[in-house]
Structure 1
Amino acid sequence: MSSAGLKFAVFTASLPEWTPEEAVGKLAEQGWDGIEWRVVDQQPPAGAGSFWTGNKCTWPLATFEDDVPRIKEITEKAGLGMPSLGAYARSHEIEDVERLMRGAAALGVKQMRVTVGKPGPEGYNAAFAQRRKEYHRVAELAEQYGVKALIELHHQSLTSSASSAARFVEGFDPRYVGVIHDIGNMLREGYEFDAWSFEILGEYLAHVHVKNAAPVAKPVEGANRTDWEWAWAPMRHGFGNLPKLFAALREHGYTGWVSVEDFSTEVPLEDRVRDNLAYLKEITS
């Protein structure tokens, strides 16, 4: 745990090479406080596994409730906490949301992500209104099972910024609906000054994800111009100023969990994860 009272976990989407047993063992050995399990039915990988397909550190949604005893046993044996579930069910997939909440409650996890996705042909405003309607049922389930539903700040989604998320959750009870702040996603789209973004979210700030990214130049072949795109970057070397982020978190009074999901690949996985914890301790001491 940091001197600021924060607790640090790793979201297992970023641990594709490790089995769950390997993950809890290595994170405990390195000194992490917790683990945020990824739960989703994956598509078979076309080749080698990756963060998003063939990820070994993912629990299938189809068997999640049956897997709860094993998840609980290996996590508690390693002495790790579980700040949240990294689930992928959307607000309209209400049967999956309820299944996940039942499993989370049995596991002792107090919050989980319930995504709202991006607008379709109906456009942003119509999709935003529809997802808000759906989230009323999600909030009812959250109250029923004691598992808070979290909306993530994510680029190319209905809630890419703190302002859009605050507008989405307005009127919901913050005991049952909250927001995940994610600077890495917000760099790509939706970034608002750190201190202001925390103030905007207020009591709805329920969890924090941390990763980093950087713009990469892409010269356009046959044209005298350059396009740019974002790529994931090591936490120490990305565009996001993480020391300022944590200073703003401290000023806001946040003392909850921070989950790292580092999708950079320049450094081997075990070294990358170990150095991320060292860096977090450096900038929060």
Structure 2
Amino acid sequence: MKFSVFTASTPDWTPAEAARTIAAQGWDGIEWRVVDQQPAAEPGFWAGNRATWPLTGLEESLPEIARLTREAGLEFSGIGGYAGCGDHANVDRMLAATAELGARQVRVTMPRSDLGDYRELFAGARADMERAAAVAASLGVKALVELHHETITPSASAALRLLDGLDPEAVGVIHDLGNLLIEGQERTLSALQLLGPYLAHVHVKNVAWLPGEPEADGTVRWRHDWAPLRSGAGDVDAYFRALHEFGYDGWVTCEDFSTAVPLEQRTRENLAYLREVEARTRAAVPA
């Protein structure tokens, strides 16, 4: 396996700082966040993220993205795009940028499930992905669907239904440990087997479920929050064992949105932990 960092999780660093630090820590690659974001007084994961490339003017930024990545000695694990599948013009731009960079694969986002009748949203997204698959195939890249809570594809089953019959060389799925703890969780090995050739990429983060204060009648409502890899509800060892059992040996991208420790320490310790878990679980799975 190869390990990379998604720069959504490195908001304090400029692109140059992100590439330099990630490379110095020994990561294999980087997954650049590309989106037009809101400004913020302080850097944050979703607004004011300094390690994000704007979608506006992206084409002019491609030489600098390529230079920073290349000079740091990093590979592209993919591109973290936010273009919605129905935004055809920007999907095409992201696919073309991915091809120009040699980044191989890019995320295309799915509609939120609360935007209308699920059946209509799903049918529209299927048509959009059929179109995206054709464009991706013409460029030699892959459009990725992430398993993400509160969208029409929170689970492997839903993603397979969306993509089934399309060329797995042109479309694929990002399996995500953390997102699935919020919505869409299925037995990991079963989900990987279900996806089969559509499993293209893996994201790793972790989540904690926390109880709220009891209400007057004693009802307790739970909420989720991002957690460090070691202490969240997700069993990282079990996750890697399933990946090894399935035979996955591709990219694993870390996107740790917890803030218990400073960013540079967090990324450094996460790489050490992931490599330790990967080696331990690989040895535990019969060849």
TM over 0.5: yes
SS at structure 1 position matched to 2:181:
helix
1:35 to 19, 23, 30: 30
Tell me the equivalent position of 1:247: 241
Distance (whole Å) between structure 2 residues aligned to residue 264 and residue 88 of structure 1: 21
Q: Any idea what the Cα deviations from partners look like across 1:189-241, whole Å, max 9, x if unmatched?
A: 00011111100111000000000001011014434121101110000111000
SS at structure 2 position matched to 1:200:
helix
1:153 and 2:147 are equivalent in the alignment? yes
Distance (whole Å) between structure 2 residues aligned to residue 142 and residue 216 of structure 1: 41
Distance (whole Å) between structure 2 residues aligned to residue 122 and residue 180 of structure 1: 24
Tell me the equivalent position of 2:58: 64
SS at structure 1 position matched to 2:270:
helix
Distance (whole Å) between structure 1 residues aligned to residue 115 and residue 3 of structure 2: 39
Gaps of 5+ in 2: 280-287
1:209 to 200, 203, 207: 203
Gaps of 5+ in 1: 1-5
Q: TM-score, normalised by structure 2?
A: 0.95
Distance (whole Å) between structure 2 residues aligned to residue 89 and residue 10 of structure 1: 20
Tell me the equivalent position of 2:193: 199
Instruction: Give the alignment of 1:27-106 within 5 angstroms.
Output: 27-45=22-40, 47-106=41-100
1:230 and 2:224 are equivalent in the alignment? yes
Shift of 1:122: 3.2
Distance (whole Å) between structure 1 residues aligned to residue 186 and residue 71 of structure 2: 40
* Structure 1 residues 159 and 73: CA distance shift in structure 2, 3 A: same
Shift of 1:136: 1.2
* Paired-residue identity, %: 50
**AA at the equivalent of 1:235:** L
The count of corresponding residues between Structure 1 and Structure 2 is: 279
SS at structure 2 position matched to 1:61:
coil
1:14 and 2:14 are equivalent in the alignment? no
Q: TM-score, normalised by structure 1?
A: 0.96
1:267 to 261, 267, 272: 261
1:183 and 2:168 are equivalent in the alignment? no
SS at structure 2 position matched to 1:219:
coil
| Deviating 4+ runs (over 6 angstroms) | none
Aligned-pair RMSD on alpha carbons? 1.0
Q: Contact 2:207–2:232 (CA<8 Å) still a contact in 1? A: yes
Shift of 1:103: 1.3
Distance (whole Å) between structure 2 residues aligned to residue 146 and residue 220 of structure 1: 54
